Amino acid sequence: MVGVWPLPDGIRKLGPMQVRTYRTAGGLYDVDISHLPNGERYAEISAKVTQPDAASTMANDEGGASTEPASRCALIQSSQAANKLRSLLR
């Protein structure tokens, strides 16, 4: 862990942000629910695999936690980290 105090100019606290993680039985995937200070919420679903299995899992993934058309996700979704940071900077 690296610590710097006082913080350099231009760096400020962004938050607090609350994240709750829900794990499925058997650990097939996790659901992270993020609550930002401005009331925005994000839900992210991620498969948990070992690093050597990541590429083959992505190649074989049909992109959804369910096969129901109404709940089907896009094939590959990027992390919402950039959107969360933009929201925190507003």
Q: What is the C-alpha radius of gyration for the chain, rounded to an integer number of angstroms?
A: 17
At 48, is the pLDDT very low, low, confident or very high (cuts 50, 70, 90)?
A: confident
Q: How far apart are CA 34 and CA 18, in angstroms?
A: 6
Residue the block writes with tokens 């610590």: 3
Lowest mean pLDDT among 6-10, 33-37, 41-45: 6-10
Confidence of residue 1 (pLDDT cuts 50, 70, 90): low
How far apart CA 78 and CA 1 sit, in angstroms, is: 27
Distance CA 37, CA 21 (A): 18
Domain locations in the chain as residue ranges: 18-89
- For 2, 4, 18, 53, 88, the CA distances from 43, given in Å and listed in that order, are 30, 32, 12, 24, 16
